């Protein structure tokens, strides 16, 4: 008999969220297989996990079939930043669709639970605020972001079709704007952009007039929510919104980053990219009710930890890009692990 309670596969495990999730699952005593093709994942993210009991790294692309004995699958495999997925939109769509299909077949063969990390992008540029899980979205199916948005929507379709046809135990989480230590400096999204620009003294680039809003969830809060969702009874399938319901204008985020870093850089304004959402905010009533979860880490606290890590990485030739998270108060998991 294995010494580990569960055998868990984390696809995209060398990415930002995936690496933090791998670390958490290992700390809970599970055997964790981190699968990544390193298209956007980083070796440094999982370097601290190498040699840990129960940790296995598997270099593999989810668009290719795989055969493993696992109890649970967390699917985070897909470039999530426009700067990354726009480099190869066809491969991005294939990763979401074919990759998810391969993982569903693996789950069916092995009897594993599958948790799909979907995205708030399935709502597109929403006309309803905040967004609830029963909102069908306002999406451009042929625009430059469609490879990601529509790929994730199709993945959700496949997941619920497998649920209906094979009674497969599945969960779908829709993630809203996650940030924290270990995010790539070249991620291309607003937190990374502002952080790196402020730390290097460059002007902060604001797209549009900065009045568009986002909701930012710290990575330890998100990992806790994912673990809680996986532990729910089979009848709980989702989709469930996971994110921070506190809304912030992009221009206010820029000013906050300037204040926290002490930078005196100016703001420069550029045209808003095509299909960039004007407003994005989750309704997390379902997460509160079903998971007993809501974000615990305040934005300034999380930003300070994130900025400190970006600053340390800029000085280190070989950074640990997925550090042990700073001691930040967070609600403990029922299973006995406090995320800090």
Task: Please tell me which residue in 123, 148, 179, 218 is annotated as part of the active site.
Answer: 148
CA distance 194 to 148: 23
* Buried b or exposed e, range 222-260, using 16+ CB within 10 angstroms: bbbbbbbbbebeeeebbbbbbbbbebbbbbebbeebbeb
Whether a cis peptide bond, with omega within 30° of 0, leads into 330 is no
CA distance 126 to 120: 10
Q: Phi/psi of residue 303, each to 5°?
A: -65, -40
The position carrying tokens 């009710």 is 289
The position carrying tokens 């669709």 is 97
Query: 11 exposed, middle or buried (CB, 10 Å; 0-12, 13-18, 19+)?
Result: buried
Is position 135 annotated as part of the catalytic site?
Answer: no
Question: Residue 307's closest CA among 212, 219, 182?
Answer: 182
Token couple for 226:
């994912």
Query: 18 exposed, middle or buried (CB, 10 Å; 0-12, 13-18, 19+)?
Result: buried
Residue 296's Cβ-side half-sphere holds a number of Cα atoms within 13 Å equal to 18
Reduced DSSP (H G I as helix, E B as strand, rest coil) percent helix, strand, coil of the chain, to 5: 40, 15, 45
Q: Phi/psi of residue 222, each to 5°?
A: -65, -45
Token couple for 193:
């952009």
The residues that are catalytic are 148
């Amino acid at each position: 008999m294995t010494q580990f309670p569960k055998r868990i596969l984390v696809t995209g495990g060398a990415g930002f969220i995936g690496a933090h999730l791998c670390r958490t699952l290992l700390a809970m005593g599970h055997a964790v297989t981190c699968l990544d093709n390193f298209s956007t994942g980083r070796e440094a993210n999982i370097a601290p996990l190498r040699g840990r009991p129960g940790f296995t790294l598997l270099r593999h692309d989810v668009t290719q079939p795989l055969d493993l004995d696992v109890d649970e699958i967390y699917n985070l495999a897909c470039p999530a930043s426009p700067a990354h997925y726009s480099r190869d939109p066809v491969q991005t769509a294939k990763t979401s669709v074919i990759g998810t299909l391969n993982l569903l077949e693996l789950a069916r063969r092995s009897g594993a639970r599958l948790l799909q990390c979907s995205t708030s992008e399935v709502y597109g540029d929403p006309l309803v605020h905040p967004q609830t899980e029963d909102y069908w979205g306002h999406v451009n199916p042929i625009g430059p972001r469609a490879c990601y948005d529509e790929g994730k929507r199709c993945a959700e379709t496949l997941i619920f079709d497998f649920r209906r046809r094979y009674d497969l135990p599945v969960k779908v989480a829709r993630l809203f704007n996650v940030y924290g230590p270990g995010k790539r400096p070249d991620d291309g999204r607003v937190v990374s952009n502002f952080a790196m620009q402020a730390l290097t003294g460059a002007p902060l680039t604001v797209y549009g007039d900065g009045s568009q809003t986002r909701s930012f969830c710290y990575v330890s809060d998100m990992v806790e929510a994912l673990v809680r969702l996986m532990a729910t009874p089979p009848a709980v399938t989702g989709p469930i919104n996971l994110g921070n319901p506190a809304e912030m204008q992009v221009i206010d985020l820029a000013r906050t980053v300037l204040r926290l870093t002490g930078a005196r850089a100016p703001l420069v304004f550029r045209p808003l990219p095509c299909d960039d959402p004007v407003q994005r905010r989750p309704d997390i009533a379902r997460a509160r009710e079903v998971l007993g979860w809501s974000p615990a880490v305040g934005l300034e606290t999380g930003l300070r930890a994130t900025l400190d890590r970006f600053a340390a990485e800029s000085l280190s030739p070989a950074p640990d890009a997925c550090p042990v998270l700073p001691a930040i108060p967070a609600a403990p998991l029922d299973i006995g692990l406090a995320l800090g």
